[in-house]
Amino acid sequence: MLSRPITRILTSAAVVLIVLLPGTRAFAGDPLEPVDCSAHPQAPGCTVTVGTPERPGGGDDSDNSGGGSGAGGDDGCRWVEVDRPPPAGADPDSGGWYMEVCGTDTSALGSPPQWIVNPPEPVDPAVLARQASADLALPSPEIRANPDPEHDLLVQVPIWLWVDPSTWGARSATASVPGVSVTATARPTQVRWDMGDGTTVTCTGPGTPWRAGTDPSAASPDCGHVYRTSSAGASGAAFAVRATVTWTVSWVGGGTDGTLPALTTTSTLTVRVAVSQAINGGTA
């Protein structure tokens, strides 16, 4: 019964939907006024439906101005406040007596009065979204490359770069309070490779893994690099390679959705790059 929003049926020459914020009251000359918009335990806030005398609020399913149970309800039911003392031991300011009235005849009381405790202040879903985003367990990228960076690489030889699939893909986390649940989802969108030789490579996906049997002189179709100089003059005679993944973050819950600032994760490794030496043989 208490799943219906607290509403008030009014009449006017036009059809208008007005939403009153929690804690406000709606007055329309009805003998059962006022309605305390914060008193419904599951849906604080009033939805006031204004209609013509022929269509006193709500409307059929084809009326986009406020039909359905979310704006007055097809059954025309709403909750109205009843002036009577609070129950024994109850704080008069902690709630109020409300009665469900259905149909257009406000003298026909649809249910006995019920004491409804005022709900806590509604939680902003965006606040929960930020909490859920902070709880996202985003993996650092596992760097993969061919030729194998465990061995010396060679100048002028194409290197294939990719991120291991186990560290690529959407990750989600949820934050909840009673009545509201928000889920934040992070999706990897690009990898920026700082190659250590002063160049960067930005790939819009995880990169293509190199497969045995592929021409070793062929370049990666979507994410690779060719060193033009050796790492002999770099610190430690090696290049520091850094892969930074950018994650876009979106959220949904509490009847709405949105986006949050992007997140990043990073991994590094060192590679040694040498110049290939050709050995020419001859006869004595």
Q: What are the tens digits of pLDDT across the range 174-204?
A: 998 867 899 999 999 999 999 999 999 999 9
pLDDT tens digits, residue range 99-125?
777 666 555 455 688 888 876 677 899
Domain ranges of the chain: 7-117, 125-274
Averaged pLDDT of the chain: 75
The total number of residues shown for the chain amounts to: 284
Alpha carbons 173 and 132: distance in angstroms, whole number: 5
d(CA 5, CA 36): 12
Is there a cis peptide before residue 125, judged by omega within 30 degrees of 0? no
pLDDT-derived band at 93, boundaries 50, 70, 90: confident
Query: Residue 105: its pLDDT value, please?
Result: 56
Band (pLDDT 50/70/90 cuts) for residue 155 is very high
- Over residues 240-255, the pLDDT tens digits come to 999 999 999 999 998 8
Superfamily of domain 125-274: Immunoglobulins (2.60.40.10)
Note the pTM of the prediction, 2 decimals.
0.58
pLDDT at 90: 85
